[in-house]
């Protein structure tokens, strides 16, 4: 059996430690060990190529959830300039699991909204592990309307296990906040590009997921339900998530096959977590290219295509 | 007014879930909530509401349509659409067959157009007796088409949820996309200045509520229905701890400002008529 991504990553980490040790020897003792280093580096690339070359749905799930992956604010820092964060939904609160603001992509102003996960314990808590609340979705909508007012395109970064299902969120209308966003995003009169950067968790993802283009990073997932949740329902065993991941069709490739996603954005070898700069560059190129294309389209045509794009999704039999 | 709402044919499904087998078929039924044994004829005359505790039994989609629309006015559309198994999801074909046979439905929705107190409208009803009313491609398509027909004919649309299953897992992302698709159709309907009425019945959860189930000009609910974002099982898994009493009931949602009114089944037609009148919906002459 193939090692899980986690086991594999542990092995790679050991290899990296070894490489670092040899490098240190070279520095400290002035010995030329470059041959050895090159060999080890080659071995590492080889292993990465093999393991990341044909990942399963479950592999993708693990990679997409890797806490070392770049999060929304990492991409913002690496791709945009003059980012100015804007807070609050102007109704009841501020949600750390959803960030947003204005920024420049090259010389063009855009508005950005996206889920935000945290790295350490306190930030994770502040970001609610990326589970956005009604306040987050309403903040996102407020900022998207701001963007529309000034005719700036909108970019949405999706990275959430799902929307927050706490009692408080229920009381504050989590369902309505997502439904409202989906509804309104079909009416926004500016181009929208959606990018799934990590986890595209169901309704929580879709709440900022309507756009003229939907892109997925190579090692992201987009799913109607978490594989573990699916397994708990189908086989009454949450531990069989790996099996569920294969049947749910949650990989970028599958999403593209059904026309749900337009483009898969290449990640550096071994995943975006290995090289933030390369990942950001790859995504930035895709954004710039797609925005340029969308700018050519008249507003009415843009809205019509957006409608048609989602209206056509579905597979069924017709006729008796 | 209540008499005759159910029409002539007896519809399968509604009793399947709630009537225990120990009670002789047909004559008697038992309330799923207060356990009172009810005389079936009287219970049916009472629109399948328990005569003792007021518990609203689940209705099938055909029952619901017969109850709300003017007699013989309903014309079903898109009845030929059936689910495919695009992901080859294990057991899905079989599940569709079994639920179809047990419920007499082709999928979890019945849609079409008709009149209500003379007002022309489109209607779509999801039915919990078929895969808990979960929304896959067929449900999404039929709801979108019903809304689009209403936009085209410039009539209101009435969408009734009996969906506890949310987006149908067996069709993966395609089901999630039905949330987008149905919401898009409703957005156009709103933009055309036409009315959308949502009626939430037991159960109405998850993907339905995070899309069309929340997008009415007016949201009505039957008493005691379970309405919410995630089902109880998921809440428990998410370690929410103790949830307040009546969490995710119609009354809970009313208290928290999420729906407009909780309406007893016997008053539904009257309430809907007033809304249609307010919207200035054209009647059929």
B122 close to B149: Cβ distance less than 8 angstroms: yes
Residues 278-307 of chain A whose Cβ lies under 8 A from any Cβ of chain B: 307
Q: Where in chain B is CATH 3.90.226.10?
A: 58-278
Q: Are strands B218-221 and B196-200 parallel, antiparallel or unpaired?
A: parallel
pLDDT confidence band for A31 (50 / 70 / 90): confident
Which whole number is the average pLDDT over A140-154? 98
Cβ separation of B183 and A186 shorter than 8 Å?
A: yes
Q: Which long-range contacts (CB under 8 A, 24 or more apart) does B49-52 make?
A: B49/B264, B49/B265, B49/B266
Instruction: Pick the range with the lowest mean pLDDT from B124-138, B162-176, B230-244.
Output: B230-244
Quick check: B3 pLDDT over 90? Answer: no
**What percentage of chain B reaches a pLDDT higher than 70?**
86
Tokens representing B206 are 């998850």
Q: Which residues of A touch B140 (CB under 8 A)?
A: 314
pLDDT at B242: 73
Cβ separation of A249 and B175 shorter than 8 Å?
A: no
pLDDT at A32: 82
pLDDT confidence band for B233 (50 / 70 / 90): low
Nearest C-alpha in A relative to B255: A171
Chain center to CA of A213: 14
B134 close to B109: Cβ distance less than 8 angstroms: no
pLDDT confidence band for B232 (50 / 70 / 90): low
Nearest C-alpha in A relative to B175: A224
Which whole number is the average pLDDT over A294-308? 98
Residues with Cβ within 8 Å of residue A239, at least 6 apart in sequence: A228, A231
Q: Which residues of A touch B188 (CB under 8 A)?
A: 186, 307
Q: Which residues of B touch A189 (CB under 8 A)?
A: none
pLDDT at B173: 97
Q: Which residues of B touch A316 (CB under 8 A)?
A: 81-84, 136-138, 141
Residue reference for tokens 């044994």? B37
Nearest C-alpha in B relative to A185: B184
CA distances to A12, A28, A36, A216, A272 from A48, rounded to whole Å, are 8, 29, 18, 21, 13
What's the CATH number for A62-311?
Answer: 3.90.226.10
Cβ separation of B175 and A167 shorter than 8 Å?
A: no
Q: What is the pLDDT of residues A60-95, one digit of tens each?
A: 999 999 999 999 999 999 999 999 999 999 999 999
Q: Which residues of B touch A227 (CB under 8 A)?
A: none
Burial level of A89, CB count in 10 A (0-12/13-18/19+)?
A: buried
Per the prediction, chain B carries an average pLDDT of 90
Nearest C-alpha in B relative to A209: B180
Per the prediction, chain A carries an average pLDDT of 95
Report yes or no for ipTM above 0.90. Answer: yes
Q: Give the Cα separation of A242 and A57 in Å (integer).
A: 8
Q: Which of B180, B184, B210 is closest, CB to CB, to A175?
A: B210
CB pairs under 8 A between A and B: 178
Q: Give the Cα separation of A94 and A42 in Å (integer).
A: 47
Quick check: B11 pLDDT over 50? Answer: no
A172 close to B228: Cβ distance less than 8 angstroms: no
User: Number of helices (H) and strands (E), helices first, in chain B?
Assistant: 9, 12
Which whole number is the average pLDDT over B257-270? 98
pLDDT at B23: 59
Q: Give the Cα separation of A46 and B29 in Å (integer).
A: 69
Q: What share of chain A is helix, strand, coil (3-state, %, to 5)?
A: 50, 15, 30
Q: Which residues of B touch A172 (CB under 8 A)?
A: 256
Quick check: B17 pLDDT over 60? Answer: no
Q: Which of A167, A171, A176 is closest, CB to CB, to B240?
A: A167
pLDDT at B10: 42
Q: Give the Cα separation of A252 and A259 in Å (integer).
A: 11
Q: Give the Cα separation of A144 and A154 in Å (integer).
A: 7
Q: Where are the domains of chain A?
A: 5-54, 62-311
B75 close to B110: Cβ distance less than 8 angstroms: no
Q: Is A11 on the interface with B (CB under 8 A)?
A: no
For residues A30 and A223, the model is more confident at A223
Q: Which of B84, B137, B235 is closest, CB to CB, to A165?
A: B235
pLDDT at B217: 98
Q: Are strands B119-126 and B157-161 parallel, antiparallel or unpaired?
A: parallel
Domain B58-278 has CATH 1.20.910.10: no
Q: What is the pLDDT of residues A251-290, one digit of tens each?
A: 999 999 999 999 999 999 999 999 999 999 999 999 999 9
Q: Which of B172, B190, B243 is closest, CB to CB, to A249?
A: B172
Residues 237-266 of chain A whose Cβ lies under 8 A from any Cβ of chain B: 238, 247-250, 254-255, 258, 260
């Amino acid at each position: 059996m193939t090692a899980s991504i986690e086991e594999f990553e542990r092995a790679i980490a050991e290899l990296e430690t070894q490489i670092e040790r040899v490098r240190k020897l070279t520095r400290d003792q002035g010995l030329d060990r470059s041959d050895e280093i090159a060999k080890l580096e080659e071995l590492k690339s080889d292993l990465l190529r093999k393991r990341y070359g044909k990942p399963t749905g479950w592999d993708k799930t693990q990679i997409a959830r890797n806490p070392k992956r770049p999060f929304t604010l990492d991409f913002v820092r690496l791709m945009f300039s003059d980012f100015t964060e804007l807070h609050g939904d102007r109704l009841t609160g501020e949600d750390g699991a959803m960030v947003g603001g204005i920024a420049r992509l090259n010389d063009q102003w855009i508005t950005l909204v996206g889920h935000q996960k945290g790295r350490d314990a306190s930030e994770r808590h502040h970001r609610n592990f990326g589970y956005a609340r009604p306040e987050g979705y309403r903040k996102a909508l407020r900022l998207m309307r701001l963007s529309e007012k000034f005719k700036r395109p909108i970019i949405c970064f999706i990275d959430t296990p799902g929307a927050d299902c706490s009692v408080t969120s229920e009381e504050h209308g989590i369902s309505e906040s997502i439904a409202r966003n989906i509804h309104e995003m079909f009416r926004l009169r500016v181009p929208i590009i959606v990018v799934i950067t990590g986890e595209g968790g169901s309704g929580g993802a879709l709440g900022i997921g309507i756009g003229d283009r939907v892109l997925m990073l190579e090692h992201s997932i987009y799913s109607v339900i978490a594989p573990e949740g699916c397994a708990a329902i189908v086989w009454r065993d949450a531990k069989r998530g790996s099996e569920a991941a294969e049947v749910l069709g949650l990989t970028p490739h599958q999403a593209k096959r059904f026309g749900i996603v337009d483009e898969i954005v290449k990640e550096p070898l071994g995943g975006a977590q290995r090289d933030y700069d390369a990942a950001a560059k790859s995504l930035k190129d895709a954004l710039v290219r797609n925005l340029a294309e969308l700018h050519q389209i008249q507003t009415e045509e843009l809205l019509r295509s957006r409608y048609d794009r989602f209206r056509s999704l579905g597979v069924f039999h017709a006729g008796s | 007014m209540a008499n005759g709402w159910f029409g002539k044919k007896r519809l399968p499904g509604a009793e399947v879930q709630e009537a225990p087998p120990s009670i002789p078929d047909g004559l008697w039924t038992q309330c799923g909530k207060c356990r009172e044994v009810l005389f079936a004829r009287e219970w049916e005359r009472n629109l399948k509401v328990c005569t003792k505790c007021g518990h609203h039994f689940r209705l099938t989609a055909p029952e619901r349509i017969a109850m709300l629309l003017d007699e013989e006015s309903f014309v079903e559309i898109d009845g030929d659409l059936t689910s495919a198994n695009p992901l080859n999801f294990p057991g899905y074909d079989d599940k569709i067959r079994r639920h179809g046979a047990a419920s007499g439905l082709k999928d979890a929705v019945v849609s079409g157009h008709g009149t209500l107190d003379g007002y022309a409208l489109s209607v779509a009803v999801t039915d919990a007796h078929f895969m808990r009313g979960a929304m896959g491609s067929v449900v999404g398509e039929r709801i979108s088409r019903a809304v689009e027909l209403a936009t085209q004919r410039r009539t209101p649309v009435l969408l009734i949820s009996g969906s506890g299953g949310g987006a149908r897992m067996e069709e993966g992302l395609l089901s999630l996309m039905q949330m987008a698709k149905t919401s898009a159709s409703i957005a156009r309907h709103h933009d055309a200045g036409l009315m959308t009425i949502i009626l939430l019945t037991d159960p109405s959860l998850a993907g339905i509520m995070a899309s069309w189930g929340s997008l009415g000009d007016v949201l009505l609910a039957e008493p005691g229905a379970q309405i919410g974002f995630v089902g109880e099982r998921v809440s428990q898994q998410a370690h929410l701890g103790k949830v307040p009493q009546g969490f995710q009931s119609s009354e809970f949602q009313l208290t928290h400002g999420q729906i407009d009114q909780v309406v007893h089944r016997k008053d539904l037609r009257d309430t809907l008529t007033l809304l249609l009148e307010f919207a200035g919906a054209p009647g059929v002459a």
